[in-house]
Chains A and B, each alone.
Chain A
Amino acid sequence: MPERKRPKLAVWKFSSCDGCQLTMLDCEDELLALTEEVRISYFLEATRKVEKGPYDVSLVEGSITTPHDIKAIREVRKQSKVLITIGACATAGGIQALRNFKNVKEFIRCVYAHPEYIDTLTTSTAISDHVPVDFELRGCPVNKYQMLEVLNAALNGRKPNIPRHSQCMECKETGTVCRMVATGTACLGPVTQAGCGTLCPGKDRGCYGCFGPMEAPNTAALAARLGQLGQSGRGIRRLFHTYNANSDAFRKEGDNHG
């Protein structure tokens, strides 16, 4: 039987911890089925086999932190029909975007024995800061079911079921008791996009915003409430400036505190 024409999938990495592409390998129950539906054409973490582009779907992990990254992502874009960025690094610059708030050149000069070896930008930025992106999948790391959903939707020509609303809705759906109301715990849930599976509130801690800002978040109102609950300005700033520090809404809100 001739092999069906399967869409070509490529997985790319920029500055990141690998966790999001590892999520792909963590789809233990679905991985083999997935490879029957897509052709893995470029995925260094999984295979040394490399097929040339263009690729039907590219998953891009990681943020842009070097001049060379900028060139590379443009080439990836050129080679990809659909470009999906996965994870907080790719969609908002990731944890390493915390450098954006400090003087990186200073660091390197003072710290590395040979600063001339180090070639880096002063900022860590999202992929969509550099090339058009078709879909941004949030999370630090992404949720594997959401990742499968996006691939599945792309394969089946439907809209991915990835809500942009608050984490609170997901907490309520799962019947999780609100940490903020019931215990006074600081929580970014009301301004964070749902999708993690109610992880932190389910483990008795406040949401730390690893899925980034929800649609039209009212960060100022939440920050005011966090203040009432006893969070210091610095504490509020840190909350917003962590895993999605360079997303517009969180960056701006964090800048207003501390």
Chain B
Amino acid sequence: MADTRTIKVEALARVEGEGSLHVKVKDGQIKELHFGIFEPPRFFEAFLRGRDFREVPDITARICGICPIAYLMGASQAMEDILGITVTKPIRDLRRLIYCGEWIESHALHVYMLHAPDFLGLADALELAKVDRSLVENALRLKKVGNEILETIGGRAIHPVALKVGGFYKLPTKKQLSKLEEELKWAVETSVATVKLVGGFDFPDIQQDYNFMALRHDDEYAIHEGRLVTSSGLDFPVSQFLDHVEEEHVPWSNALHGKPKDGGNHHVGPLARYNLNHDKLGKTARAAAKAAGLGAVVKNPFQSIVVRAVELVQVCEDALKLVQGYVEPDKAFVDAPIRAGEGHGCTEAPRGICYHRYRIDSDGSVLDARIVPPTAQNQKVIELDLWKVVQANLAKSDDEIKWRAEQAIRNYDPCISCATHFLKLEMERG
């Protein structure tokens, strides 16, 4: 039929991992729309079974090259939960600092290299460099600040090696961290300028009524700990995550869809955090957001780029404070005897909450593992956004629609590698 169109984006660009998009349109109406994740499953939960609990943080880090801290830390927290360990304040601060590093690196990468080109009609950041080289140089420098935090504390930026259950293998010296100070001061300024820059982009006028979910902490903009809250009013400890979220297996995705048990969908990531924790943003970040025209509520998914930039301000400033306030602790980690049990961990990866649950045996071997990464939870809302974006642009050419749709997906900074490690293991026993 003449008015049947199929729009396919077979390999999404500028996302971590490989995904696809299929849209079938008939008589001016979308009939089918799938955000597909065809990256093959990697069975992490399967082979974690029988491993020593101390190995889990490093192994799960391999789920994702861009947010390994989310795994290192979430897994460590879950193990500490089992062993009854509470880390000391200096260790907690250092953890937040290295997490800030990951956010800076990831957000700078996404804002400038992966997402901004969409708003400028460019294919990539290299084309952007041709238009404005210093802009891309600044972006890379900003990204490097994040990586340097990761490297100084963790040893390397991707899959850092210094983190362990209870804290760190080795602590950075004050001298090493102080070296980051000047760059971080520059980074705060540059990220404020970034908010201004991306705030000036043109955004399609789309407002979505999301059910946001994020961590919330009394004393800070939650990154590495807190309770889970939703815009629908839920407020529960991390340990109850699975009471509220379930996973669904759809034919077009190798990643299980995470969704609320009480129906509907939920949205995790920068927009969720911003909307739920706006009051916890620091002064500088809040001012930057305001100057860019953001209110306390942002429901346009395309404005996530601005929110990400606001979060960049937040973490650059946090990192600067943490570096300045760092005092070398006496002990690099907190130890405790092994015991059997179940534990939970949850942190805010740059692209949303990343949940871990483990059960270990009395000899420390893993009996069971469950990990719910952010992109899996966002699959549903991504499809809802796409539905709206595609419908609104049906008059346009396929190429134009593809670009718009890709952009809508990139709003979520999806990490497909994360999303496809899945396997529900509790069913395997028996």
A and B touch in the complex (CB under 8 A): yes
Chain A residues proximal to chain B, CB less than 8 Å? 13, 15-23, 25-26, 28-29, 31-32, 35, 40, 44-50, 65-66, 69, 94-96, 98-99, 101-102, 104, 106-107, 110-114, 117-120, 124, 140-141, 143, 196-197, 199-200, 202-205, 208, 210, 235, 238, 242-243
Instruction: List 20 interface pairs A-B (beta carbons < 8 Å), by A numbering.
Output: A18-B415, A26-B105, A26-B157, A28-B141, A29-B140, A35-B126, A44-B13, A46-B126, A48-B403, A65-B40, A98-B43, A110-B428, A111-B425, A113-B248, A117-B249, A118-B41, A119-B40, A143-B156, A205-B162, A205-B170
A-B pairs, top 6 by smallest CB distance, nearest first, are A19-B65, A47-B124, A48-B13, A98-B47, A49-B123, A28-B140
Q: Kindly state whether residue B143 has any CB partner on chain A within 8 Å.
A: yes
Q: How far is the CB of A174 from chain B (nearest CB, A)?
A: 13
Q: Kindly state whether residue B147 has any CB partner on chain A within 8 Å.
A: yes
Which chain B residues lie closer than 8 Å to A95 at the CB level?
Answer: 42, 44, 47, 59, 62
Taking each of B16, B52, B59, B137, which has the highest tally of chain A beta carbons within 10 Å of its own beta carbon? B16
Q: How far is the CB of A198 from chain B (nearest CB, A)?
A: 9
Q: Are B43 and A203 in contact (CB under 8 A)?
A: no
Q: How far is the CB of A219 from chain B (nearest CB, A)?
A: 19
Q: Are A199 and B161 in contact (CB under 8 A)?
A: yes
Q: How far is the CA of A199 from the CA of B42 in the complex (A)?
A: 26
Q: How far is the CB of B252 from chain A (nearest CB, A)?
A: 8
Interface size on B, residues (CB 8 A): 70
Q: Are B126 and A45 in contact (CB under 8 A)?
A: no
**Closest chain A residue to B162, Cβ basis:** A203
**Closest chain B residue to A141, Cβ basis:** B158
Known: A46-B126, A112-B423, A118-B41. 11 other contacts (CB 8 A): A45-B13, A46-B14, A46-B124, A47-B13, A94-B62, A95-B44, A95-B47, A99-B43, A99-B46, A111-B427, A197-B156
Chain B residues proximal to chain A, CB less than 8 Å? 11-18, 39-44, 46-47, 51-52, 55, 58-59, 62-66, 68, 105, 109, 113, 123-127, 129, 133, 136-137, 140-141, 143-144, 147, 155-159, 161-162, 164, 168-170, 248-249, 251, 254, 332, 403, 406, 415, 417, 423-425, 427-428, 430
Q: Are A44 and B12 in contact (CB under 8 A)?
A: yes
Q: Are A48 and B40 in contact (CB under 8 A)?
A: no
Q: How far is the CB of B348 from chain A (nearest CB, A)?
A: 19
Which chain B residues lie closer than 8 Å to A140 at the CB level?
Answer: 62, 159
Which chain A residues lie closer than 8 Å to B59 at the CB level?
Answer: 95, 242
Q: Are A238 and B52 in contact (CB under 8 A)?
A: yes
Q: How far is the CB of B165 from chain A (nearest CB, A)?
A: 12
Q: Are A48 and B68 in contact (CB under 8 A)?
A: no
**Closest chain A residue to B105, Cβ basis:** A26
Q: Are B158 and A19 in contact (CB under 8 A)?
A: yes
Taking each of B12, B15, B62, B63, which has the highest tally of chain A beta carbons within 10 Å of its own beta carbon? B62
Taking each of B40, B68, B155, B403, which has the highest tally of chain A beta carbons within 10 Å of its own beta carbon? B40
Which chain A residues lie closer than 8 Å to B125 at the CB level?
Answer: 46-47
Which chain A residues lie closer than 8 Å to B16 at the CB level?
Answer: 18, 22, 45
Q: How far is the CB of B275 from chain A (nearest CB, A)?
A: 28
Q: How far is the CB of A122 from chain B (nearest CB, A)?
A: 11
Q: How far is the CB of B304 from chain A (nearest CB, A)?
A: 19
Given A15-B39, A15-B40, are A45 and B137 also a contact pair (CB < 8 Å)? no
Q: Are B42 and A141 in contact (CB under 8 A)?
A: no
Q: Are A208 and B58 in contact (CB under 8 A)?
A: yes
Q: How far is the CB of B34 from chain A (nearest CB, A)?
A: 12
Which chain A residues lie closer than 8 Å to B159 at the CB level?
Answer: 19, 140-141, 210
Q: How far is the CB of A249 from chain B (nearest CB, A)?
A: 20
Q: How far is the CB of A206 from chain B (nearest CB, A)?
A: 10
Which chain B residues lie closer than 8 Å to A45 at the CB level?
Answer: 13-16
Which chain A residues lie closer than 8 Å to B51 at the CB level?
Answer: 238
Which chain A residues lie closer than 8 Å to B332 at the CB level?
Answer: 204
Q: How far is the CA of A99 from the CA of B55 in the complex (A)?
A: 17
Q: How far is the CB of B51 from chain A (nearest CB, A)?
A: 6
Q: Are B15 and A69 in contact (CB under 8 A)?
A: no
Q: Are B406 and A48 in contact (CB under 8 A)?
A: yes
Q: How far is the CA of A29 from the CA of B143 in the complex (A)?
A: 11
**Closest chain B residue to A89, Cβ basis:** B62
Q: How far is the CA of A141 from the CA of B64 in the complex (A)?
A: 11
Which chain B residues lie closer than 8 Å to A141 at the CB level?
Answer: 65, 156, 158-159
